[in-house]
């Protein structure tokens, strides 16, 4: 029996000719790109998007831990935006928000100024450069909990606390200072002290920023240094030939080309700072309730997973807004340049 | 296996054993008859009944109960509650037997995280073998939520050498005498700060506030309503702020937890410390103290010089509600074993025993000294429990925040007390 002739491709119905939607998705270069991206995408969905969606769902429920019939779960009825409304009506939430924003803003300013400054210096050639780079990077290698305990001993409020003992032996102070007490700063200048307290500043928070920056500034320096080293040397050569001084070179060459790297560094650090927990909790317990500690306290201490999830979700939204700002400003800088 | 020390003395002990055995006779053999099961136990990493002691108890239990294999996890106090909460959120319990602080009793009962143990403990609770004050820490709404394990409470500690240098031959009996002694010690420059307490913004601060109110003859709650802005509770807050403001309490108190405050006392830096029973062992050991022989435990000074005033820190063993029913008899068998007079009697040097028969035993007097036993009983008799309410942790968080601010002078005392009352009254009830 003669074989049935195969119809020409052009004669097939369009749907058959193009294959299924799934098959088409993997055709050509797009297929290769997707094949490489798929594992990461699946992981992203599993560990980021699904938990995020679950957190959003919990934040809209009066969710709490229940054990029914010998089986535990986190469940609750739909309450709409009631958890958010309760948070916004709670002065403690606004205090936590102000403290968090203060912590983030001061830390980021330190990191931009000292991080870029140190990176520019380390980018120059000098004798012992490798040793200095290694020493600068050392604090980053210390685990966060160890760093927290280290600062706990340095800032101990007793006379034998590291900093107190040093200051008292040098006769710079006569009595020990409780460095980690969340007391107002610059109490001698009442109006300034009130203003700083209103924006979330306190003695304890300032020292936490010092302890955190000692630990994390190295990674900012080194990521920025990597960004600096990716800038072609010819650009600096051209600037020099055009007679640009160090500031003009930094302003018109380094800064614009560093923008994208800086945006990544700042987004990374912003996310870390907004959800910072370990150092603050280790040093202050719940005495300095930033947003992450508030979320933890609501969910795990008070058992109110709905409100805890609402705080956690707001931290995410805040991080997203700040990241959006960075991208708009820093990437645009590059294009304008 | 090391043989257990025989516990003598004890008609009461035998009676207690009999009662416990009667309550569980139908359960224990059934558990042991089954195939080996794994029992997960959560215990606190603490100074009284240390992990070493509890590990030994668990090893003894496993050796004597071939049908059950108990595995213990140790966590620091701040992580205990949250670990129990997350265990309760799982379909099947992460931990079957948990060490439950008395302040969680109402919450765990109301939310159903742990199961009532009435069927095992009703007879024992009414027998008088364990003081009713201890049972009260684990009862809520008629349910007994845990079997007492640790009878922890606070004591008043002073350094007799420092008092002698200041010209005092006996500890203070009234709050006025205590204040006078502190002022003299400071004025003579014997130590920079006469007193250190654990006023870090954490649960220890609530304990110290409850105890100070008890010293002034009152409580934080009257008829179930917060009463921090009047009477003894307000006096207590004014007292704590005054000690800080006058430099009588070490400023470091504001960031000190209990071990930190104890270290200041045992290193001889301060004359007074108010702390849990673990300090007794700490101050008399050369390994942990530089004031061996000078540290003395005493009843607390009170406003009128009568009695004492302490705060409880009882801990019990409870069974989690999402433990499968088939495993619950094994869980009770473990609790029964670990809390039995025979086992508690092996560790009298570690912690004040829950059993009356052991507290009054010759062994306890030999370990602690007859005088100290009398002091312990006095302080235990005047102990105040923290409020047993389902939303206790929210209540305590508010107390901690405003008491800390009031002590440090960041808010006037009365204003802080009013804010505490207002916010506690506004808390939503736990369904």
Q: Could you report the per-residue pLDDT of B71-117, keeping only the tens digit for each?
A: 999 999 889 999 999 999 999 999 999 999 999 999 999 999 999 99
Q: Which of A335, A331, A337, A328 is nearest to A259 (CA)?
A: A331
The tokens describing A102, both together, are 């203060």
Distance CA B72, CA B46 (A): 14
Q: Could you report the per-residue pLDDT of A63-107, keeping only the tens digit for each?
A: 888 888 889 988 889 999 999 999 999 888 999 999 999 999 999
What confidence category does residue A337 fall into, taking pLDDT thresholds of 50, 70 and 90?
Answer: very low
Query: Under an 8 A CB cutoff, do A73 and B408 touch?
Result: no
Which chain B residues have a beta carbon less than 8 Å from that of A157?
A: 250-252, 254-256
Phi/psi of residue B354, each to 5°?
-75, -25
Same domain, B254 and B352: no
Are B99 and B335 in contact by the 8 Å Cβ rule? The answer is no
Which chain B residues have a beta carbon less than 8 Å from that of A176?
A: 251-252
Same domain, B178 and B40: no
DSSP state of B65: -
- The verdict on residue A32 lying in a domain is no
Distance CA B205, CA B216 (A): 17
Can you give the CATH number for the domain in which A203 is found?
Answer: 1.10.3720.10
Are B301 and B174 in contact by the 8 Å Cβ rule? The answer is yes
Question: How does A94-122 read in b/e, with b if 16+ C-beta sit within 10 Å?
Answer: ebbbbbbbbbbebbbebbbeebbebbbeb
DSSP state of A78: B
Q: Which of B267, B252, B269, B266 is nearest to B297 (CA)?
A: B266
Interchain CB contact of A152 with B (< 8 Å): no
Q: Could you report the per-residue pLDDT of A316-326, keeping only the tens digit for each?
A: 999 999 988 88
Same domain, B364 and B263: no
Q: Could you report the per-residue pLDDT of B326-362, keeping only the tens digit for each?
A: 999 999 999 999 999 999 999 988 789 999 999 989 9
For range B261-279, the mean pLDDT: 95
Same domain, B183 and B295: yes
Same domain, B306 and B333: no
For range B17-27, the mean pLDDT: 43
Residue B24 has pLDDT above 80, yes or no: no
- The verdict on residue B295 lying in a domain is yes
Residue B29 has pLDDT above 70, yes or no: no
Select the more confidently predicted residue: B410 or B32: B410
Percent of chain A with pLDDT over 90: 54
Residue B8 has pLDDT above 70, yes or no: no
Can you give the CATH number for the domain in which B65 is found?
Answer: 3.40.190.10
Same domain, B26 and B134: yes
Same domain, B243 and B212: yes
Distance CA A325, CA A331 (A): 10
The lowest-confidence range among A94-108, B208-222, B276-290 is B276-290
Distance CA B231, CA B216 (A): 9
Phi/psi of residue B44, each to 5°?
-95, 140
- The verdict on residue A107 lying in a domain is yes
For range B229-234, the mean pLDDT: 97
Same domain, B264 and B298: yes
Count residue pairs from A and B with Cβ separation < 8 A: 100
Dmax (CA) for chain A in angstroms is 110
> What is the number of domains present in chain B?
2
Same domain, B266 and B137: no
Query: Under an 8 A CB cutoff, do A72 and B391 touch?
Result: no
Q: Which residues form the domain of B131?
A: 11-152+312-384
Mean pLDDT of all residues belonging to chain A = 87
Same domain, B216 and B250: yes
Select the more confidently predicted residue: A31 or A239: A239
- The verdict on residue A287 lying in a domain is yes
Nearest to B111 among A65, A70, A300 (CB): A65
| Preferred mutation among B91, B252, B394 to probe A, highest tally of A CBs within 10 A | B252
Beta strands (DSSP E) in B283-395 are 295-298, 310-311, 315-319, 383-384
Residue B281 has pLDDT above 90, yes or no: no
Which residue of chain B is at minimal alpha-carbon distance from A304? B430
Query: Under an 8 A CB cutoff, do A181 and B254 touch?
Result: yes
Query: What is the predicted pLDDT for the residue at B309?
Result: 92
Residue whose tokens read 């040097």:
B349
Distance CA B379, CA B85 (A): 32
Query: What is the predicted pLDDT for the residue at A330?
Result: 74
Distances from the Cα of A23 to the Cαs of A28, A33, B29, in angstroms? 10, 14, 64
Same domain, B284 and B168: yes
- The verdict on residue A63 lying in a domain is no
The lowest-confidence range among B24-28, B126-130, B331-335 is B24-28
Are B89 and A74 in contact by the 8 Å Cβ rule? The answer is yes
Which residue of chain A is at minimal alpha-carbon distance from B114? A67
- The verdict on residue A167 lying in a domain is yes
Query: What is the predicted pLDDT for the residue at A221?
Result: 95
Q: Could you report the per-residue pLDDT of B388-406, keeping only the tens digit for each?
A: 889 999 999 999 999 999 9
For range A16-22, the mean pLDDT: 61
> What is the number of domains present in chain A?
1
Q: Which of B100, B411, B101, B396 is nearest to B221 (CA)?
A: B396
- The verdict on residue B35 lying in a domain is yes
Query: Under an 8 A CB cutoff, do A175 and B251 touch?
Result: yes
- The verdict on residue A273 lying in a domain is yes
Question: How does B295-321 read in b/e, with b if 16+ C-beta sit within 10 Å?
Answer: bbbbbbbbbeeebbbbbbbbbbbbbbb
For range A187-207, the mean pLDDT: 90
Query: What is the predicted pLDDT for the residue at A113?
Result: 93
The nearest CA of chain A is from the CA of B116 a distance in Å of 13
- The verdict on residue A19 lying in a domain is no
Q: Is B163 exposed, middle or buried (0-12, 13-18, 19+ CB in 10 A)?
A: buried
Percent of chain B with pLDDT over 90: 82
- The verdict on residue A101 lying in a domain is yes
Query: What is the predicted pLDDT for the residue at A158?
Result: 85
Same domain, B51 and B139: yes
Q: Which of A162, A289, A206 is nearest to B404 (CA)?
A: A289
Beta strands (DSSP E) in A215-332 are none
Residue whose tokens read 């290698």:
A141
Query: Under an 8 A CB cutoff, do A286 and B201 touch?
Result: yes
DSSP state of A241: H
Q: Which of B151, B328, B88 is nearest to A303 (CA)?
A: B88
Q: Could you report the per-residue pLDDT of A281-309, keeping only the tens digit for each?
A: 999 888 888 999 999 999 998 888 999 99
Q: Which residues form the domain of A184?
A: 83-336
Residue B13 has pLDDT above 50, yes or no: no
Select the more confidently predicted residue: B32 or B84: B84
A window 57-116, beta carbon within 8 A of B: 64-68, 70-74
For range A122-128, the mean pLDDT: 89
Query: What is the predicted pLDDT for the residue at B162?
Result: 98
Select the more confidently predicted residue: A104 or A157: A104
DSSP line for B248-285: -B-GGGGG--HHHHHHHHHTTS-SEEEEETHHHHHHT-
- The verdict on residue B416 lying in a domain is yes
CA-CA-CA-CA torsion sign (B179, B183, B186, B190): negative
Residue A334 has pLDDT above 80, yes or no: no
């Amino acid at each position: 029996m003669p074989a049935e002739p195969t119809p020409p491709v052009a004669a097939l119905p369009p749907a058959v000719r193009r294959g299924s939607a799934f098959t088409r998705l993997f055709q050509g270069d797009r297929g290769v790109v997707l094949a490489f991206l798929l594992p990461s995408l699946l992981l992203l969905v599993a560990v980021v998007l699904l938990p995020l969606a679950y957190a959003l769902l919990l934040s809209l429920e009066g969710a709490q831990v229940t054990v029914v019939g010998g089986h535990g779960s986190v469940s609750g009825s739909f309450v709409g935006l009631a958890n958010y409304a309760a948070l916004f009506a709670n002065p403690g939430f606004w205090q936590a928000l102000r403290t968090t924003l203060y912590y983030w803003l001061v830390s980021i300013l330190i990191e931009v100024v000292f991080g870029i400054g140190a990176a520019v210096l380390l980018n120059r050639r000098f004798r012992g450069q490798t040793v200095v780079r290694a020493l600068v990077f050392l604090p980053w290698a210390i685990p966060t909990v160890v760093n927290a305990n280290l600062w706990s001993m340095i800032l101990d409020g007793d006379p034998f606390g590291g900093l107190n003992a040093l200051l008292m032996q040098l006769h710079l102070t006569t009595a020990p200072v409780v460095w980690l007490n969340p007391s107002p700063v610059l109490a001698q200048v009442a109006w300034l002290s009130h203003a700083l307290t209103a924006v979330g500043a306190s003695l304890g928070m300032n020292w936490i920023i010092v302890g955190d920056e000692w630990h994390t500034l190295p990674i900012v320096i080194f990521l920025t240094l990597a960004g600096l080293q990716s800038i072609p040397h010819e650009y600096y050569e051209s600037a020099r030939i055009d007679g640009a001084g160090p500031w003009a070179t930094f302003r018109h060459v380094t800064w614009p080309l560093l923008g994208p790297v800086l945006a990544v560094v700042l987004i990374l650090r912003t996310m870390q700072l907004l959800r910072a927990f370990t150092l603050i909790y280790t040093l202050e317990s719940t005495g300095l309730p930033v947003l992450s500690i508030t979320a933890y306290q609501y969910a795990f201490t008070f058992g109110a997973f709905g409100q805890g999830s609402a705080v956690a979700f707001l931290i995410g939204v805040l991080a997203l807004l700040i990241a959006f700002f960075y991208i708009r400003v820093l990437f645009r800088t590059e294009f304008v340049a | 296996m090391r043989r257990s020390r025989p516990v003598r003395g004890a008609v009461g002990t035998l009676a207690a054993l009999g009662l416990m055995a009667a309550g569980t006779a139908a359960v224990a053999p059934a558990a042991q008859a089954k195939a080996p099961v794994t029992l997960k136990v959560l215990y606190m990493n603490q100074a009284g009944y240390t992990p070493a002691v509890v590990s030994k108890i668990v090893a003894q239990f496993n050796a004597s109960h071939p049908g059950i294999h108990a595995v213990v996890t140790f966590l620091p106090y701040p992580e205990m509650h949250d670990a129990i909460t997350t265990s309760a959120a799982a379909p099947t319990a992460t931990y079957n037997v948990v060490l439950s602080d008395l302040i969680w009793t109402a919450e765990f009962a109301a939310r159903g995280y742990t199961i009532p143990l009435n069927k095992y403990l009703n007879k024992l609770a009414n027998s008088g073998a364990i003081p009713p004050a201890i049972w009260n820490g684990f009862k809520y709404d008629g349910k007994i939520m845990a079997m007492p394990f640790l009878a922890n409470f606070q004591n008043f500690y002073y350094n007799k050498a420092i008092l002698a240098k200041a010209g005092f031959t006996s500890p203070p009996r009234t709050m006025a005498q205590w204040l006078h002694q502190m002022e003299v010690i400071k004025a003579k420059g014997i130590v920079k700060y006469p007193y250190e307490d654990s006023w870090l913004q954490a649960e220890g601060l609530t304990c110290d506030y409850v105890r100070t109110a008890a010293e002034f003859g009152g409580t934080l709650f009257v008829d179930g309503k917060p009463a921090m802005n009047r009477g003894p509770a307000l006096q207590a807050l004014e007292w704590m702020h005054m000690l800080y403001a006058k430099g009588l309490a070490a400023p470091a108190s504001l960031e000190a937890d209990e071990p930190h405050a104890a270290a200041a006392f045992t290193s001889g830096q301060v004359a007074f410390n108010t702390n849990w029973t673990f300090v007794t062992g700490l101050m008399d050991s050369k390994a942990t103290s530089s004031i061996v022989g000078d540290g003395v435990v005493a009843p607390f000074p009170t406003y009128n010089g009568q009695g004492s005033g302490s705060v409880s820190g009882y801990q019990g063993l409870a069974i989690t509600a999402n433990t499968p029913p088939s495993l619950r008899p094994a869980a009770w068998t473990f609790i029964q074993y670990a809390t039995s007079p025979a086992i508690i009697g092996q560790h009298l040097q570690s912690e004040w025993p829950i059993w009356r028969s052991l507290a009054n035993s010759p062994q306890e007097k030999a370990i602690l000294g007859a005088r100290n036993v009398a002091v312990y009983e006095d302080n235990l008799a005047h102990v105040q429990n923290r409020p047993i309410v389902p939303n206790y942790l929210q209540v305590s968080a508010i107390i901690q925040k405003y008491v800390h601010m009031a002590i440090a002078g960041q808010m006037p005392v009365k204003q802080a007390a009013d804010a505490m009352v207002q916010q506690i009254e506004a808390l939503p009830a736990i369904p």
